[in-house]
Structure 1
Amino acid sequence: MRIAVTGSIATDHLMVFPGSFADQLLADSLDKISLSFLVDGLEVRRGGVAANIAYGLGGFGLAPVLVGAVGDDFAEYRVRLKEHGVDTDAVHVSTSRQTARFSCVTDRDMNQIAAFYAGAMSEARDIRIARVAEYAGGLDLVLVAPNDPEAMLRHTADCRDLGIPFAADPSQQLATLTGPQIVRLVRGARWLFTNEYEAALLLERTGWDRADVLREVGAWVTTLGADGVRVERDGETPLVVPAVPVRAAADPTGVGDAFRAGFLAATARGLPAEAAARLGCALATTVLETVGPQEYEVDPGALLAGIEAAYGAEAAAVFTPWLGKEPR
């Protein structure tokens, strides 16, 4: 299955605040916040939603096509992604802007405050899916992840015009998209990905109720943090899959991206939604236990062990022929 992953490609600057953000906020002064946090450390990591998801898919041997815009500072990053099975030849390189930057501070409760500089990402609107499909020899699925908002809308429209199935993952950009734009983005999607907060925001912005959304998409996948994930389809009972337990949380950055990579990797292999959600949860836990969204390797034995521990031997056996290793 040939998957194109469109969206942000960025460098992450990750910092840790040893206290709690909640302790620093005054309820009666939220309209004039001016805070500075003394952090314990700085980790500079490669990131961006599309690159994170493509990295995970590459680890499963799917050779995803990464689609996004970067600056001329991307050369080293490109090499690393290629080494991990990602096709980067469709990435647009800006001649005037740097690759996007994500700066994030995480407190001891795993709450985050972040800022994102778009940089070259604003040129992603000039990328056409038809050209990517021609280069790739055809596409079976396009994931439309957070990106320049105009690019997201154009990619979705291109997929509809070309008859290419697509998955909508508006995530952080729901805050900037209008209700009509969100409708344009998600209508007709094979998969819609959100977390709980984003799901509520989507409903508020569009004026839809849950039934309206389910009539517009093939399936709605909502990550629930420590409670796992919910998969909903029109006319069916919602499927809730618990999370894979975490030994020691290190950094939540990229956890949702890892879930999407595992989920889509499993569906690409023809597995049903429940199995896909289990693999997504297992990979998400792997990333949660790691600092940085691309500082892990897809370890079949460890994934199978996590799936067996969380869901049982029968659930793990579904993946054994594909991943090729028994649980360790």
Structure 2
Amino acid sequence: MAAVTRVLSGVQPSGEMHLGNYLGAFRSWVAEQDQADAFYCVVDLHALTVPQDPEALRRRTLEAVACLLAVGLDPARCTLFLQSQVPEHPRLAWLLECQAAFGELRRMTQFKDKVGRHGGEGAEAGVSVGLFTYPVLMAADILLYQADRVPVGDDQRQHLELARDLAERFNHRFGPTFTVPEAAVPPVGARVMDLQEPTRKMSKSAASPQGTVLVVDPPEVLRRKVRRAVTDSDGEVRYDPARKPGVSNLLELLAASAGGDPTTLAGQFSSYGALKEAVADALVALLEPIRDRYATVLADPGELERVLAKGAAQAREVASATYDLAAERVGLLPPSSVG
């Protein structure tokens, strides 16, 4: 009998979750619960790399957990927890930081982009050390659970490569300690584009909120956003991402939410209006049950706390064993030998 694969994924509590989060990640997380030993965490420590209002962070963290439960994560079938409630995460991050090189962290694309946005000589002075080192914390997130596979998009591949490099380096220097994780490529069509700027990914930080469909959008709001989606002027419903990104995005959304192939679906519509109506209907049918469950879950904070306490306890069983092994490997004394 083959060993059960362990998979780990995380999401930041950065605000209300959008359609791209669900179609690109959460839906596959739900399926993964029955295919692997699945660990899912809300990475609230990563959120601290940029300034946060404490009350807002606490609220968004609970909202993120409620959303994950609403889309179908089941604490009886997976381990769902908060990163900050498992202290082995920052503890292992320190051990790994001591194995990481300054140069490889400085080459991280997201760090360079952030420095570039500050601009000018000495721009790094305005960037937090946490933003510089958080790829190592991300590596600790992964390696703590001896994850075999980690679902990643194109923007996270560099971070997974760092986790692999650190695992291999640590294992070479101190002996077998960490599983070297493999990337799990998201399914084709999981890339959800902005309705107003269909050449860029859907994001909560987009210039116009009208291009982002939130998982908890009421039906009338969702329909309005789809009706206002950017298309083009030739009027032909055709799947052609290069020449017709807006129309192609709508066809991909219809395929992802209701089933089918975008090219085949295109032949069913003679106008953009009819296509938008079908997309809106499909998205309402997909998201309305999630929105209803979300409201129910969020209304019971006691149950959310119980779910998180259970998840943290389960996560610590694995994380503490990994950390203790890594600490022993580098020469740290166990607590029982001190005093």
TM-score by length of 1: 0.30
Structure ranking higher on relative contact order (CA contacts 8 Å, 6+ apart): 2
Bigger Rg over Cα: 2
Structure showing the higher strand proportion among its residues: 1
